[in-house]
Amino acid sequence: MKMTLTVNGRERTVDVAPMARLLDVIRDGLVLTGTKEGCGDGECGACAILLDGRLVNACCVPALQAVGRSVVTIEGLGEDKEGSREPDALQRAFVEEGAVHCGFCTPGMIMASRALLEENPIPTEEEIGVALSGNLCRCTGYGTIFAAVARAAREGYPAKPLPRKEGRGAGPLFSPDEEGRFFLPESLDEALKILDEEDDVTLLAGTTDILPDMKKGRAAPRKAMDLLGVGELRTLRLDGGAVRIGACVTNGEIIRSPLLVDCLPALVDTARQSGAPAIQNRATLGGNVANASGAADHLVMLLALDASVVVASVRGERVLPLKDFVVSYRKNACEKGELIREIVVPLPPRGSVQKWIKRGSRKALTLSRVSLAFFLEKEGEVIRTFRLAAGSMSPVPLRMVETERVVTGRPLSAETAALAAETARSEINPRRSPDYRKAITANLVRRFFEELL
């Protein structure tokens, strides 16, 4: 396809395959080689760029989703002076603080730092660490990198924000072989009509799984449809007694939502621990739910929050409790022609308690080995409602109904904490490392109640 996008402030036109990685478009098609390829899985940050102002990993973005978008690479940060391109203040800070080592990771580090400082001009050291958590320095020069970011912040960087382009603009020109196989709908009705008329259409949202899988040998989809341009799937609102979150709302948007910070703080915590910022800005809530994985972080928390899934087709909409939507490992209840429209969460009463706990080999950038989600309401000192969900210990996340049963109606006490812990230990049946997972589940359940006490 022939596509136009804005790169470092200039319109550029390239001829590429729709499912080609944006990383390859930048390096090979546009010959901007400052952007590097490291892992190709979205884990190292060497290919970090700004897409419509947000930090993303270019290895996880298909060209189809970059049509008409605004891209800024490391080459776009310099300053034009007397006919040449000079480093800007952030780039100079990296040089002067000795933060440029072998140089391979440096472009991605600088792009992640730029994204941080544009959103948060005076970050703490902890906030710098979070912002750079998806960028690996193989030379282990993190101390000087942190110092460079802090120095640029002290010097008032950035002096002005980068220009942002909203909307997709002109669509691509597909080749005869591509025509009728790739779709860019701009409304839900249009997307549903395509799904009704076409067979075997792969739905694209965050694409944080599909492109890394293609790199490992998965065949590119014969047909694909980008859902990120469908406005009805990007909404996030309070409607009566429920919070409604569109399927294409990203983890980054969940983290930045004042509504969710106020009403569903545990869901915000889940989003914060699901990948680094560049992944959070791409990965969608609907994608996490649709994948129906036993290790899916959001599924566990949404089960404890008693969420439902709204699926839509040209025939209308269906509302399914989340526990019924996840049929089995990697299989959901969507029928032909259906897609997830939104996830609906009942508004938790004030004073209720919700909590998300994840344990893995690293704090955030890993699949969980154990994940638990809690929801509790009290009436006086008596537990009126208790919901507990567990992930990474069975093919799909599960509600721990026996533990819920023995706790409900009991007073909040040390005895109840001990009973809940032992019941949880007995109830779960992990597929792997059962002794470890049973022990840590019991400990975490006990700790939840002891913290309330």
CATH of the domain at 63: 3.10.20.30
- Short-list 155, 140, 83, CA closest to 109: 140
Residues of the chain whose pLDDT is less than 70?
163-169, 361-366
Q: Is residue 12 part of a domain?
A: yes
How do residues 103-113 score in pLDDT, each as one tens digit? 999 999 999 99
Separation CA 419–CA 303 (nearest Å): 22
Q: Are residues 386 and 340 in the same domain?
A: no
Question: How high is the pLDDT of residue 385?
Answer: 98
Question: How high is the pLDDT of residue 431?
Answer: 81
Q: Of 346, 362, 381, which closes a domain?
A: 346
Positions of E strands within 215-297: 223-226, 236-239, 242-246
Q: Are residues 238 and 330 in the same domain?
A: yes
CATH number reported for the structural domain that contains residue 248 in this entry:
3.30.465.10
Q: Are residues 257 and 147 in the same domain?
A: no
Question: How high is the pLDDT of residue 402?
Answer: 98
Residue 219, both tokens: 């065949």
Q: Are residues 439 and 359 in the same domain?
A: yes
Separation CA 389–CA 371 (nearest Å): 8
Q: Are residues 204 and 235 in the same domain?
A: no
Q: Are residues 149 and 238 in the same domain?
A: no
How do residues 227-252 score in pLDDT, each as one tens digit? 999 999 999 999 989 999 999 999 99
Q: Is residue 413 part of a domain?
A: yes
* Helix 297-304 vs helix 265-272: crossing angle, to nearest 10: 170
Q: Is residue 167 part of a domain?
A: no
Chain centre to alpha carbon of residue 407: 33
Q: Are residues 142 and 82 in the same domain?
A: yes
Strand partners, 320: 309
Q: Of 226, 258, 279, which closes a domain?
A: 226
Range of the domain at 248: 231-346
Q: Is residue 170 part of a domain?
A: no
Question: How high is the pLDDT of residue 165?
Answer: 64
Structural domains of the chain, count: 4
Cβ–Cβ under 8 Å, residues 291 and 297: no
Q: Of 197, 226, 255, which closes a domain?
A: 226
Question: How high is the pLDDT of residue 250?
Answer: 98
Question: How high is the pLDDT of residue 78?
Answer: 85
Q: Is residue 176 part of a domain?
A: no
Q: Are residues 51 and 79 in the same domain?
A: yes
Taking the CB of residue 143, how many other CB atoms lie within 10 A of it? 12
Q: Are residues 39 and 114 in the same domain?
A: yes
Give pTM, 2 decimals: 0.95
Q: Is residue 396 part of a domain?
A: yes
Q: Are residues 206 and 248 in the same domain?
A: no
* Backbone dihedral angles phi then psi of residue 235, each to the nearest 5 degrees: -85, 155
3-state secondary structure 374-429: EEEEEECCEEEEEEEEEECCCCCCEECHHHHHHHCCCECCHHHHHHHHHHHHHHCC
Q: Is residue 172 part of a domain?
A: no
* Helix 106-119 vs helix 142-154: crossing angle, to nearest 10: 40
Q: Are residues 15 and 117 in the same domain?
A: yes
Q: Coil, strand, or helix at residue 333? A: coil
Question: How many DSSP H helices and E strands does the chain contain?
Answer: 17, 21
Q: Is residue 166 part of a domain?
A: no
CATH number reported for the structural domain that contains residue 440 in this entry:
3.30.390.50
Q: Are residues 326 and 364 in the same domain?
A: no
